[in-house]
Amino acid sequence: VRLVGLRLDKVEKAKDSGHADIAAREIAKLRLQIVALPKESVVIKEAAAALARLDDDAFWISLSHDRLEFLRAEIKPLFRTVSEADFKAMRFERDLLEYSLAVLSEEKEQAGALKEGIVEQISELPLSVSFVKQEEALIRAAQTSHYWAKADEDAFDELVAKLGPLMKFREQS
């Protein structure tokens, strides 16, 4: 639920600050999350009318503040039905989303603190596990300040796609 809330905040911030590309990217991710909601869930079936509005591309093309509020009020709570998800991967994605939102909002202190937490999570990945070892180059790079100085939306997507699923192997020290 929190991940969807942050994604909506980022869409709004990106739209308000003229970053249509970032907004479009986050909207696409949000739509994928919505499509992945468990169709057999009673809660989802009861929300069929609200969800049907989202099938129309026009809803997304002119995503106004009113429509964002509708998504927050009617759609975001539906994500409580998502249970089988890998929570460590979701937390990692949420932290990266929060970081990119802080960067977009020019909240340098918050971004710095979030980045430290993300780097710490990455550093806890055990290279002794073969799946993890396959991403060693990215794992090592993502722990450098040089990486973060150049990181953009593509870099964040790559981290979520490649390292998110590995978070379940993390070794807390």
Q: Scanning the structure block, which residue is given the tokens 């603190």? A: 113
State how far the Cα of 101 lies from the Cα of 99, in Å rounded to an integer.
5
Tokens (6 digits) for 18: 């003229």
CA 9, 13, 16, 18 dihedral sign is: negative
**Rounded mean pLDDT, 137-161:** 96
CA angle at residue 157 from 146 to 53, to 5 degrees? 150
Q: What is the pLDDT of residues 60-113, one digit of tens each?
A: 998 999 999 999 999 999 998 876 667 888 899 999 999 999 999 999 999 999
**Residue 68: both structure tokens together:** 């964002």
Mean of all residue pLDDT scores within the chain: 93
Query: Could you tell me the two tokens for 93?
Result: 């994605």
Residue 18 class from Cβ within 10 Å (0-12 exposed, 13-18 middle, 19+ buried)?
exposed
**Residues 37/78, Cβ–Cβ less than 8 Å:** yes
Distance CA 64, CA 84 (A): 32
User: In the predicted model, is pLDDT for residue 53 greater than 90?
Assistant: yes
Of 120, 80, 96, 83, the residue nearest 29 (C-alpha) = 96
pLDDT for the residue 140: 97
Average pLDDT over residues 47-52: 93
Residue 138 has pLDDT above 60, yes or no: yes
Q: What is the pTM of this model?
A: 0.77
Comparing C-alpha atoms, which of 145, 164, 151 is closest to residue 104? 151
pLDDT of 173 > 80? The answer is no
Residue among 68, 64, 84 at smallest CA distance from 76: 68
Burial (0-12, 13-18, 19+ Cβ within 10 Å), 57: exposed
Tokens of 44: 């989802």
